[in-house]
Amino acid sequence: MGYKMNTQLKNKNTGIFCDHGPSNWQSSQTGILSTKRLAVKDVFAVKKQKNSAGNPCWFKTHTPAQQTASSVNKLMDAGCIFKGFTHTDELAYSLEGNNTHYGAAQNPKIKGHACGGSSMGSAAAVAGNLADIGLGTDTGGSIRIPASYCGLFGIRPSHNVIEKDGLIPLAPPFDTVGWLTQSAELLEKVGDALLPSQAFNSVNTLVICEPLFELVSPALQAPLKQLLKKTKPYFKHHKNFELPNISLLSELADSFRILQGRAIAKVHKDWLQLPEQPPQFAPAIATRFKMALALTTQEEKEALNVQTQWQTLIAKNLNSTSCLFLPTTPTTAPKLGADTSALRMQIITLSAIAGLSRSAQVHLPLANLANGHPYGFSLMMSHNNDKSLLACATQLAAYFKQETLT
């Protein structure tokens, strides 16, 4: 495996590419992704290389990988050129797109604004045309939020449909391998390389859940409704999401936060409490880890009950030929360094809809806002319908393009 180290490109782009790891590595000249430039979040193993997972202490206390992650291998076998590891929020435990140790990736589409996290470097690389494919992870929104903020297509696949070997975990019950691209066609093609064989269905029904629109900032409600109006004619059937208990929506974020926190504590407790060299985190992330370690079995039990209720509702409302229309984020990209803590629960509520139900979700950056900020919406399908969803997204994006031209 011949790696070339090239830090010149990396150092020019603060918060995007890491200084460690291979660059311009290609293992196959042929394949469905031949010559596509690949940016890889610094949580995926590459043989004989180390990862930082966004934290210098992690880099110091872990040894080089013995094997390359199978998701990376599949993309390399398909002909990709590995451009470099990309920066992430610390241990992928933030949605902000900022790293106290390595800097923040500036949003290439809107100067002075954030990319969103935690897959910030991969998103910035694709949005800034430094890569064609951004490989990342999505636990609580880490692909979907950067996709929304940076105007990219992005997928959080169904849980566990793509192998997670060689991946530094955050919360295994929710961790997924996702990716970002500039086009829906390439998003689908990457799915051909990474996803297993699945039953393929033509998606003909759009499911709408009106209460979700209330989670979006007032200024974006009209553009979102316009997107829905434009999307509807593409689908043969429309139906409302039956939500017998609207208060369940308000429980999603907290339930997700608890279940994610309990999973994080189980995986990372020993490392977080290293006696000789405790890891140093940004204050907000340190607080989050402290919270995760303090959660109780009883809290977990109650949160699991909410998850079960939500999964039952999704099963009732979605099938293999229907998808849910939903907002991806409550706002467009915030300014770099802005305090987004007040929005966190709204963001997590929207992200937990797929997270708690183990569903597949694709962000489509199809809005055309007057201020030029990227925005769009998501389509979500129930578990194991990823290929049907990707094909639907490709066709819908083409339909939008055609409608704009006429």
Residue 246 sits in a domain whose CATH number is 3.90.1300.10
Task: Give which of 249, 256, 400 is closest to 326, Cα–Cα.
Answer: 249
Measured in whole angstroms, how far is the alpha carbon of residue 283 from the centre of its chain?
23
**107-134 pLDDT, tens per residue?**
999 999 999 999 999 999 999 999 999 9
Say what the pLDDT of residue 352 is.
Answer: 98
**31-42 pLDDT, tens per residue?**
999 999 999 999
Task: Kindly state whether residue 315 falls inside one of the protein's structural domains.
Answer: yes
Task: Kindly state whether residue 192 falls inside one of the protein's structural domains.
Answer: yes
Task: Give which of 109, 107, 112, 130 is closest to 40, Cα–Cα.
Answer: 130
Say what the pLDDT of residue 403 is.
Answer: 66
Q: What is the mean pLDDT of residues 131-159?
A: 98
Task: Kindly state whether residue 57 falls inside one of the protein's structural domains.
Answer: yes
**Paired tokens of 181:** 């691209």
Say what the pLDDT of residue 10 is.
Answer: 45
Query: Is residue 2 predicted with pLDDT exceeding 90?
Result: no
Q: 213-222, 282-291, 339-348 — which is least confidently predicted?
A: 339-348
Query: Is residue 9 predicted with pLDDT exceeding 60?
Result: no
* DSSP assignment letter at 362: E
Task: Kindly state whether residue 210 falls inside one of the protein's structural domains.
Answer: yes
Cα dist from 142 to 181, 212, 215, 247, 355, whole Å: 14, 20, 19, 26, 11
**166-213 pLDDT, tens per residue?**
999 999 999 999 999 999 999 999 999 999 999 999 999 999 999 999
- pLDDT over 70, % of the chain: 96
In terms of Cβ atoms closer than 10 Å to its own Cβ (0-12, 13-18, 19+), residue 202 is: exposed
Task: Give which of 234, 224, 232, 226 is closest to 376, Cα–Cα.
Answer: 224
Task: Kindly state whether residue 135 falls inside one of the protein's structural domains.
Answer: yes
Mean pLDDT, all residues of the chain: 93
Instruction: HSE, CB side, 13 Å, CA atoms: give it for residue 40.
Output: 35
Task: Kindly state whether residue 193 falls inside one of the protein's structural domains.
Answer: yes
- DSSP string of 84-107? EEE--SGGG--SS---TTT---B-
Task: Kindly state whether residue 402 falls inside one of the protein's structural domains.
Answer: yes
Query: Is residue 221 predicted with pLDDT exceeding 90?
Result: yes
Q: Determine the structural domain holding residue 245 and report its residue range.
A: 7-406
Task: Kindly state whether residue 1 falls inside one of the protein's structural domains.
Answer: no
Task: Give which of 52, 44, 19 is closest to 178, Cα–Cα.
Answer: 44
Domains: count for the chain: 1
Q: 15-29, 170-184, 352-366 — which is least confidently predicted?
A: 15-29
Query: Is residue 11 predicted with pLDDT exceeding 50?
Result: no
